[in-house]
Structure 1
Amino acid sequence: MLTRLAPTLVAAGIALRLWQFFARSALWTDEATIANNIVDRSLKELITAPLGHNQAAPVGFLFIEKLAAMTLGPNELALRAYPLLSSILALVLLWRVAKRLLPAPSIPIVLAPFAFAPLLIFHAAEVKQYSSDVAISIALLLVALEASDVDAIEPLPTWRIALAAATGALAVWLSQPAVLVVAGLGVALAIGALGARGQRRARQRTELAFIVGVWAVSALAATIVSLHHLTPNAHRFMSTFWSDGFWPLSLRHPSSVAWPVAHTALLLGSQLGLPTSIGLACALLAAVGIVATWRSAWRTSLVLVMPLVIALGASAAALYPFAERLALFLVPSLLLLAAIGVAEIAASVRLKSGASVVMAMATIFVLVVEAQALYAAPPVYRREEITPAIAYLRRASRAPDASYIYYGAEPAYAFYNARDALPARATMGGCHRGDSNAYLAELDRFRGRSRVWLLFAHELPRLHEREMMLTHLDSLGTKRDSMTVKGRDASGNATYVRLYLYDLAASPPIDSTVARATPDSPSGMIEPRLQCSPPGE
């Protein structure tokens, strides 16, 4: 029964991704920001100049997205087509790798979390590179597993050598973390080649040296281009925002050695929709899998582990964060190692049919846990469903109206307004976290206006900025209309887009030079990672 479960899981995972895709949820802020870069720039500008609004993405991803927008139109389905295909490909490739490495009863332990994880379903229909990061990492893993079989009697066909070299060379242009993956796999293949035995040893080393050499040259070039694509402001902002993902390795603090285990548990838990305790259990099972593969097939162990080692090294050097969606590309290898760990434990059971019972129990447990995660946060995920609010604003607004777009809503508003302009003149609000007076000064510009619309999305609830702004408006005039669009993210949390209409005609304009007595809001002290991003360059 377990052997027949794998294709069902793959089919179910594909169906869930298609459901999310064709639901056509609105672009949320992060998506819209990258989508605006893709749609508004020429192909040459997109791949040669730094992105606006402190964004970062691999040039290959941007190239494919631009072609999709030019061919199919600048809409959600066109921009999300490549992430969708990448997510489906990742699921199929993971099944193939699992069949290569695992006994058939263990395969569902890998496929179930990957097929049903809410975040993976969400990323399949998101204009971001996370799905392609995962698909590319699995493709590279498959290439390395085939190339690492240095004890094979028959030589690798020339076309397979060329394909392996080309796959890695192309991957680093399509995925930024692929540079870490090819670095790890290159080390694994090099070590494996040094331990080669038999008559073909010299030729095998030459073949692998060619493959790894091509990877290295392409990775170096891609890294240089990626750094050129990142402005100093964007680099500082991202380093601060993702600072929790940098391993604080220190000989003075031995406890920092436990950081990789804890953050691997957090990674698996957060990205697969699991409690952190189960994420920790998966991390420990992966450790068992590392030991098991080292004993039985040490080259395979290196292929599975070295990208993780390189990623941790990059994290310790503050070069690339080991955190959340940016480390999602490591999840397939960790799942494979955890499944190997389960199979190893099952094989150690000496009772009659004990191994089969253990595997069945493990599979049932994984299915139940993932079913609970999916039940708690089922598709369709609508992170920031701004389009109904914009549609209402389009119907209800008049040409003389004014509108204020909260800074969190600006990217999505800009994307949809560019496709179908609204009659009301819009003022884009600035990000002034910790400075409530700056927000109030923006709102005071609308004093004396009888119809002022305000659109809010992508708020940070703990800062209470919207509440502070509405309290000020209530003191100046009268709320005439409002609308709330409720959504839900892949973690099951409710999300909101809010639209308001205020009459401020009774409130006369004030001298902007008059000092304010309004105290700062509770957002006055903002932790560094939540500071407003610097202006795009």
Structure 2
Amino acid sequence: MESTPAIPAPPSDPLGRIVLIGVAVGVALRLWEYATLRSLYMDEVALLTNLVGVPVFDFAHELKQDQLAPPGFLVVERLLVRLPMWVGASGRLLPLACGVLSMFLVAPLARRYVDRLAAPIAVWLLALSDHLIYYSAEIKPYTVDLVAAMTTLLLAVPPAPGEPTRRRLRALAIWGAVAPWFSFPVVFVLAGVGLHLVARAWRAEGARGAAKAAAVGGAWLVSFLGCFLISRSIVSKRDFLWVWWDFAFLPIPPRSWENARFTMETVANVFINPASVLTPFGFIPTAILASALALIGAGSLGRRWRGGLFLVLAPLVVHLAVSALRQYPFHGRLILSLVPTYHLLLVEGMAAVGRWARPWATLALALVFLGGQAGDIFWNQFVMPKNRSRPFDTHGDLKNDLLDELDYRRKIRPSGGDLIAPPPPAPPAPEGPARRVP
């Protein structure tokens, strides 16, 4: 894994202005979502029973109503709900802060990994991601997962050519020890970064450098194990979480064509949910086009910088592995940490198409995707009622996605036969915490 390639020159003023406008729009949309003070969702109500009136550092009791969250997140939230304001507003301050912070991280992150012309597209993709906007105002650690992944990838690569400085390595070492206490899936990103550090240190300093990098990874592992043990002690001993997320433990290696097809569809679905990548053409064409562009982007990034491709792809590979081992679900809001991987590969692919064809091809592709996302934002922010009620589909998602679309099509045309009547609409979400999801 070679050293970091030369960082391209700073973007021209027009690109810089596009980035600044995108950041401003993304921040405004997240603040707008928070300011509506929508009603608490049942997941939030369930989690609040473990926050309100509970000692800040109480980890001696199981969490109620089948909830689970990182210990550090619980501590911060227990402090926030003590503020003299409506508990829904105070409890959403941390997710909001992370949602806003993500908009300030995306441009420097993109500039370190992808083509210069792709960075503004990455900013706007994130700004107009409706799932990320919604979860920026929900009392859950999902946007913490997003920011933790972005920060880890940022710290892994120095802003200028050459080897990371000792100061940056110390910052990464401290961050890797602290981050797992606030985000579970950041561990999967750290795994890739740790391997990259060891390989890079081996190339630069030999066995001695690799040993130092491995020691940093060992400290991360010790910290994670402490967090894991505490989290396991406070999670409910019922099997509800494992039963609810059974569909999201991927059948790898596949034992049938159906297993392989489901895995491929689930991997592609991340573009739709939770990355909120959309076009005007519907879920299936969007997923096919986005997947093709991401593959092109992976090839482009790999030719230019294999180490960067490893860092970007490693979180996806580790997520798939732990899902196959039935240790962490691979679906929806639980994998917001994969959004940087999907967005970076997608925009790199758009830029690569522009280099091979004409620059206008990159612009056309960007407009297709951003137009689809902008339409989704307009519908959810200005057409839908401001309570943003969630349909609570069979996967407990914010709204239907590629998997729901494919399931529906298979139901109305079984085995290639004639169309049959569509199934009745799903019942509305039950009131209160009767059905709970983590």
Report the TM-score, using the length of structure 1 for normalisation: 0.66
Aligned to 1:85: 97
* d(CA) in 1 for partners of 2:30, 2:393: 29
How far is 1:185 from its partner? 2.4
Label 1:183 to 1:12 Cα distance change in 2 as closer, same or farther (>3 A).
same
Instruction: Find the partner of 2:61 among 32, 40, 49.
Output: 49
* d(CA) in 2 for partners of 1:288, 1:332: 16
Matched, 1:213 2:221: no
Aligned to 1:304: 312
Matched, 1:289 2:273: no
How far is 1:133 from its partner? 0.8
- SS of alignment partner, residue 82 of structure 2: helix
* d(CA) in 2 for partners of 1:276, 1:265: 10
* d(CA) in 1 for partners of 2:343, 2:391: 34
Tell me the amino acid that sits aligned with residue 280 of structure 1: I
Confirm or deny: 8 A CA contact 1:57 1:129 kept in the other structure.
yes
Label 1:281 to 1:226 Cα distance change in 2 as closer, same or farther (>3 A).
farther
Matched, 1:335 2:343: yes
Instruction: Write the deviation string for residues 500-526 of structure 1: whole angstroms up to 9, x where unpaired.
Output: xxxxxxxxxxxxxxxxxxxxxx9xxxx
Matched, 1:279 2:287: yes
Confirm or deny: 8 A CA contact 1:145 1:303 kept in the other structure.
no
Matched, 1:4 2:17: yes
Matched, 1:76 2:88: yes
Aligned to 1:26: 39
How far is 1:173 from its partner? 0.3
Matched, 1:175 2:208: no
Moved more, 120-129 or 72-81: 72-81
Q: How does 1:450-469 map to 2 (within 5 A)?
A: none
Confirm or deny: 8 A CA contact 2:92 2:139 kept in the other structure.
yes
Label 1:4 to 1:25 Cα distance change in 2 as closer, same or farther (>3 A).
same
* d(CA) in 1 for partners of 2:393, 2:47: 24
Instruction: Find the partner of 2:77 among 52, 65, 71.
Output: 65
Label 1:461 to 1:365 Cα distance change in 2 as closer, same or farther (>3 A).
closer
- SS of alignment partner, residue 62 of structure 2: coil
Report percent identity of matched pairs.
Answer: 27
Matched, 1:120 2:125: no
Confirm or deny: 8 A CA contact 2:106 2:150 kept in the other structure.
yes
How far is 1:490 from its partner? 6.0
Tell me the amino acid that sits aligned with residue 291 of structure 1: G
Confirm or deny: 8 A CA contact 1:118 1:490 kept in the other structure.
no
* d(CA) in 1 for partners of 2:151, 2:386: 28
* Structure 2: stretches of 5+ with no match in the other structure: 1-13, 402-423, 425-433
How far is 1:51 from its partner? 0.6
How far is 1:217 from its partner? 1.4
* d(CA) in 2 for partners of 1:370, 1:460: 21
Matched residues, number: 385
Instruction: Write the deviation string for residues 84-110 of structure 1: whole angstroms up to 9, x where unpaired.
Output: 000111121122101222333212322
How far is 1:461 from its partner? 9.5
Tell me the amino acid that sits aligned with residue 166 of structure 1: I
Label 1:221 to 1:381 Cα distance change in 2 as closer, same or farther (>3 A).
farther
Superposed CA RMSD in Å reads: 2.9
- SS of alignment partner, residue 146 of structure 1: coil
Label 1:371 to 1:212 Cα distance change in 2 as closer, same or farther (>3 A).
same
Aligned to 2:324: 316
* Structure 1: stretches of 5+ with no match in the other structure: 385-457, 463-488, 494-521, 523-531
Label 1:48 to 1:292 Cα distance change in 2 as closer, same or farther (>3 A).
farther
Instruction: Write the deviation string for residues 172-209 of structure 1: whole angstroms up to 9, x where unpaired.
Output: 00011122222232233334444x15xx4456434422
Confirm or deny: 8 A CA contact 1:83 1:127 kept in the other structure.
yes
Tell me the amino acid that sits aligned with residue 48 of structure 2: A
Instruction: Find the partner of 2:162 among 138, 152, 161.
Output: 152
Instruction: Write the deviation string for residues 353-382 of structure 1: whole angstroms up to 9, x where unpaired.
Output: x1x212221222222111111122226742
How far is 1:139 from its partner? 0.5
How far is 1:79 from its partner? 0.7
Instruction: Write the deviation string for residues 436-474 of structure 1: whole angstroms up to 9, x where unpaired.
Output: xxxxxxxxxxxxxxxxxxxxxx99799xxxxxxxxxxxx
Confirm or deny: 8 A CA contact 1:3 1:105 kept in the other structure.
no
- SS of alignment partner, residue 81 of structure 2: helix
* d(CA) in 1 for partners of 2:212, 2:349: 32
Give the greater-gyration-radius structure (CA): 1
How far is 1:276 from its partner? 2.5
Label 1:85 to 1:188 Cα distance change in 2 as closer, same or farther (>3 A).
same
Tell me the amino acid that sits aligned with residue 184 of structure 2: Q
* d(CA) in 2 for partners of 1:176, 1:460: 24
- SS of alignment partner, residue 330 of structure 2: coil
How far is 1:136 from its partner? 0.7
Tell me the amino acid that sits aligned with residue 361 of structure 1: A
How far is 1:312 from its partner? 0.1
Matched, 1:256 2:259: yes
Confirm or deny: 8 A CA contact 2:64 2:236 kept in the other structure.
no
* d(CA) in 1 for partners of 2:224, 2:399: 34
Tell me the amino acid that sits aligned with residue 179 of structure 2: A
Q: Relative contact order (alpha carbons < 8 A, sep ≥ 6): 1 or 2 greater?
A: 2
Instruction: Write the deviation string for residues 120-178 of structure 1: whole angstroms up to 9, x where unpaired.
Output: 1111111111111101111111112239x9x826x622x32221111111110001112
Q: How does 1:206-245 map to 2 (within 5 A)?
A: 206-233=211-238, 236-245=239-248
Aligned to 1:447: none
Label 1:140 to 1:327 Cα distance change in 2 as closer, same or farther (>3 A).
same
Label 1:383 to 1:35 Cα distance change in 2 as closer, same or farther (>3 A).
farther
